[in-house]
Amino acid sequence: MDHSRILRATNVVLLLTGYQMHWFEKKTQRFRLSLPGVVFIFVLGCIYAACFAQHFDSSSSLLKVLRDVSPFLFGLTRMQLLLGAKVLAYAVYCTVKSVGAVNSLVESLTSRDSGLKKDEVIAYVLLGSTFAILFGFVLYISFEMKFELPPLQDAMVGMALFLPHLILAGSMRLFIVLAWLSRGQLKQLKKNAEEELSAHLSKDEDNIASTSFTISTKSSSVESLENLKRKLEVLGTNFGCFTQSLQHSLIFLFALNGNCLLGGIYSLTYYWNTWHVIFEERKRRIFYAANASIYACIASDYVCLMWVLFTMEKERLNFIKCLDYFLAQRSSLAKKMRPLTKDIKSVLKRTFYFKFHSLIRFDLCYVVLMVSAQLLIISLVVIFHYLNDEILLLREELDSKNEE
């Protein structure tokens, strides 16, 4: 697996989506601020400002219809717009602030051979899965629209809502890819430790070497384990700093996702009951595809994040189990190597324990609980509004019957 290729591909994706203004230099293995990236972000900001202004244009027929059909959904749109503006400003600040932590983590990763391996293919899948799903939905909707462009004003209204989400999603792409590469580094360190300890056990048990050779082997083994311990500490510390630098971006993204899911589920619920009568068959298919794209893209992000967190935690636990196995070999493991092995185990337990603001642990359990809480709150809000509207409708019917 070639880290440079993966990081360059990630860099290109983040540049095109507007999340990053930096360019990855292959020779120095660092992200540096680039003039084309700054110009692109400036142009993108101007386009967003123009699209943002369309939401306050009183002549917009789309916003008028939305306000008349559902004031609550119009309010969600306004919330998404204002939250998106704040998020966009923060994303520009965050990409500059976090580049130091990103470079430090990249320095902790040792590049592998240049051949295309399974882990590298998975990294590309993790990087592009959501975009591939989004492209599929866009292609289908374009086909249903007979590849005709929507009115410019409506397109700009939609772009103002979509652009911040697309840009901020880059933070999750960056986290997922670097977490996957860190998992690979952790796996390599585990393999090195296992080989070192296994070789020492076999030499000690077979007693095929001379005393001087055994002493020199033990000395080199101790140095190798000390070097491995340092690498593990640096990897864990740098990944922790990288996670901390992206914590606000990920929290903002979860908030945007929650608002999108609320709007999507709310509109789908009311569409099934009342709104479908104002849609013709072709526009119904477009609505279903657009609505489904919200769930599919967000689900893809969450699944990729959960998968990476799961595999990283699994690799950490496997490393600890490996060390426990060798520590159990009391008669075979040298006294000098036992404390080092215990120290490596302690590093795995202490350093790879990531928290947001030192309060909430960021792991698979946390993400699952947060997503579940989001879905529960969204369901309660939709049920409340739907029942409230049904009660109001029933009251109107009863009042009209009493008047008759």
Q: Which residues contact 235 (CB under 8 A, 6 or more apart)?
A: 105, 108, 109, 182, 185, 186, 189
Q: List beta partners, residue 22.
A: 33
Question: Over 70: is that where the pLDDT of 167 sits?
Answer: yes
pLDDT band at 208 (very low <50, low <70, confident <90, very high): very low
What is the reported pLDDT for 298?
94
Kindly list the distances between the CA atom of residue 267 and the CA atoms of 82, 89, 216, 219, 290, in Å, as whole numbers in the listed order. Answer: 20, 29, 72, 68, 11
pLDDT tens for residues 50-93?
999 999 988 888 899 888 888 888 999 999 999 888 888 888 88
Task: Give percent of the chain with pLDDT exceeding 90.
Answer: 46
pLDDT band at 215 (very low <50, low <70, confident <90, very high): very low
Locate 332 and state its tokens: 């075979």
Query: Could you tell me which of 172, 129, 170 has the C-alpha nearest to residue 13?
Result: 170
Low-confidence winner among 39-48, 347-356, 362-371 (lowest mean pLDDT): 347-356
Question: Over 50: is that where the pLDDT of 363 sits?
Answer: yes
- What is the C-alpha to C-alpha distance for residues 40 and 36, in angstroms, rounded to an integer? 6
Q: Which helix (H) or strand (E) holds 50?
A: helix 35-54
CB burial class (10 A; 0-12, 13-18, 19+) of residue 340? buried
Question: Over 70: is that where the pLDDT of 203 sits?
Answer: no
Kindly report the average pLDDT of the chain as a whole number.
85
CB neighbourhood size of 383 (10 A): 11
Cα 328 to chain centroid, rounded? 38
CB neighbourhood size of 8 (10 A): 15
Low-confidence winner among 124-128, 178-182, 362-366 (lowest mean pLDDT): 362-366
How many degrees, rounded to 5, is the angle at CA 85 between CA 142 and CA 61?
A: 50
Locate 246 and state its tokens: 């992206």
pLDDT tens for residues 113-126?
666 788 899 999 99
Query: Could you tell me which of 292, 333, 316, 123 has the C-alpha nearest to residue 235?
Result: 316
* Cβ pair 178, 246 in contact under 8 A: no
Mean pLDDT of 13-26: 90
The total domain count for the chain is 1
What is the reported pLDDT for 402?
67
pLDDT band at 214 (very low <50, low <70, confident <90, very high): very low
* Cβ pair 324, 183 in contact under 8 A: no
What is the reported pLDDT for 358?
57
At 33, is the secondary structure helix, strand, or coil?
Answer: strand
Task: Give percent of the chain with pLDDT exceeding 70.
Answer: 89
- Measured N-to-C along each axis, helices 152-206 and 61-69 cross at an angle, to the nearest 10 degrees, of 80
Q: Which residues contact 122 (CB under 8 A, 6 or more apart)?
A: 180
Q: Which helix (H) or strand (E) holds 11?
A: helix 3-16
- What is the C-alpha to C-alpha distance for residues 266 and 260, in angstroms, rounded to an integer? 10
Mean pLDDT of 292-319: 93
At 63, is the secondary structure helix, strand, or coil?
Answer: helix
What is the reported pLDDT for 114?
64
Question: Over 90: is that where the pLDDT of 295 sits?
Answer: yes
Mean pLDDT of 174-182: 94
Q: Which residues contact 275 (CB under 8 A, 6 or more apart)?
A: 69, 267
Question: Over 60: is that where the pLDDT of 243 sits?
Answer: yes
CB neighbourhood size of 352 (10 A): 22
What is the reported pLDDT for 111?
67
Which pairing describes strands 360-361 and 30-33: parallel, antiparallel, or unpaired?
unpaired
Q: List beta partners, residue 32.
A: 23
What is the reported pLDDT for 216?
45
Question: Over 60: is that where the pLDDT of 212 sits?
Answer: no
What's the domain range around 277?
3-403
Query: Could you tell me which of 118, 389, 159, 173 has the C-alpha nearest to residue 297?
Result: 173
What is the reported pLDDT for 403?
65
In single-letter form, the type of residue at position 348 comes to L
* Cβ pair 371, 253 in contact under 8 A: no
* Cβ pair 256, 168 in contact under 8 A: yes
Which region holds residue 57: left if phi is over 0, alpha if psi is between -120 and 50, else beta? beta
* Cβ pair 37, 22 in contact under 8 A: yes
